[in-house]
Amino acid sequence: MAIKDKVVVITGASSGIGLATAKKLASEGARLVLGARREERLEELAGAYQQGQVIYKKTDVTNKDDVAALVNLGESTFGQIDVLYNNAGVMPISQLEELKVDEWEKMIDTNIKGVLYGIAAALPTMIKQGHGHVITTDSVAGHIVHPGTAVYAGTKYAIQAIMDGLRQEQVNNKIRTTMISPGVVDTELFSSISDPVQQLKTKKQEQTMGIRAEDVANAVAYAIDQPENVGINEILLRPIEQQ
């Protein structure tokens, strides 16, 4: 089994990278369990595929019960969870001196705690099954910080530690881990920026050089499509113009 028939849970599947990945994997015959807050978008997506191949549940990843319910839905419907793709994320960047504390909390709750809730929900099942694959969308920002990205980059640096810790701890349980680390991708992510200076800067970048969400989806599919003993631990991809 490479991609076909695998049961894949995807958070943040209502737009951008998550949506493109859902379409890519569904086209390759995976069975999908999609979560996001905008349920109507998930419903529309599920409706485009064969009955029962794509199921969904309204999910806020900052709520651990919601994340557990999403993973449970996958297991109770399909009997297994092969892949958990923690993709939901937000990026309301600003310089620290702006003191946008609520936005810092939102990034930490979504980008770090949301991922941990996913791991907490899926890991026991994967250990019991004797196989599994945890994928998380990290970022080039998990490797480098710029003025304005301190907290966002902090959340993505944290994912590096969490995912590599998970990899090391699970070597005997046949659980694979992958970080997908894109640079600028043309998605709705930039609409969450409230700081006008950062808005201007990132909008320009996104419009001039952003790669497509589909390019990132291809990287996710590549990681899943490997033999079970091959772990693709990180894929870093960015526009060739991006420094």
For the annotated catalytic residues, the residue numbers are: 152
Shortest Å distance, C-beta 171 to ligand NDP: 26
Strand partners, 176: 133
Only segment of 10-18, 68-76, 163-171, 228-236 that touches ligand NDP (CB under 6 A): 10-18
| Binding residue (CB under 6 A) for ligand NDP from 46, 90, 122, 220 | 90
- In angstroms, the CA 146 to CA 198 distance is 11
- Based on the shown chain and the rule CB under 6 A, indicate whether residue 139 belongs to the binding site for ligand NDP: yes
Strand partners, 236: 181
Q: Which is nearer to ligand NDP, 108 or 127 (CB)?
A: 108
Q: How many residues does the chain have?
A: 243
Alpha-helix runs per DSSP H in 28-113: 39-47, 64-78, 101-107
Spatial contact of 184 and 242, defined as CB atoms under 8 Å apart: yes
| Binding residue (CB under 6 A) for ligand NDP from 9, 21, 25, 62 | 62
Spatial contact of 139 and 181, defined as CB atoms under 8 Å apart: yes
Provide the CB-side half-sphere exposure for 27 (13 A, CA): 10
- Based on the shown chain and the rule CB under 6 A, indicate whether residue 198 belongs to the binding site for ligand NDP: no
Shortest Å distance, C-beta 204 to ligand NDP: 13
Only segment of 46-54, 68-76, 88-96, 218-226 that touches ligand NDP (CB under 6 A): 88-96
Shortest Å distance, C-beta 132 to ligand NDP: 20
Look up residue 25 and give its amino acid.
L
- Based on the shown chain and the rule CB under 6 A, indicate whether residue 189 belongs to the binding site for ligand NDP: yes
- In angstroms, the CA 117 to CA 84 distance is 11
| Binding positions for ligand NDP, 156-175, rule CB under 6 A | none
Shortest Å distance, C-beta 173 to ligand NDP: 25
Shortest Å distance, C-beta 177 to ligand NDP: 16
| Binding positions for ligand NDP, 204-233, rule CB under 6 A | 213
Size of the site for ligand NDP (CB under 6 A): 30
Dig out the tokens for 230 from the structure. 């091959």
| Binding residue (CB under 6 A) for ligand NDP from 3, 8, 10, 36 | 36
| Residue among 35, 69, 30 nearest 50 (CA) | 30
Q: Which is nearer to ligand NDP, 4 or 242 (CB)?
A: 242
- Based on the shown chain and the rule CB under 6 A, indicate whether residue 132 belongs to the binding site for ligand NDP: no
| Residue among 203, 102, 92 nearest 149 (CA) | 92
Q: Is 171 exposed, middle or buried (0-12, 13-18, 19+ CB in 10 A)?
A: exposed
| Residue among 142, 141, 180 nearest 160 (CA) | 142
Which residues are at the interface with ligand NDP (CB under 6 A)? 11-18, 36-38, 59-62, 87-91, 110, 137, 139, 182, 184-185, 187-189, 213
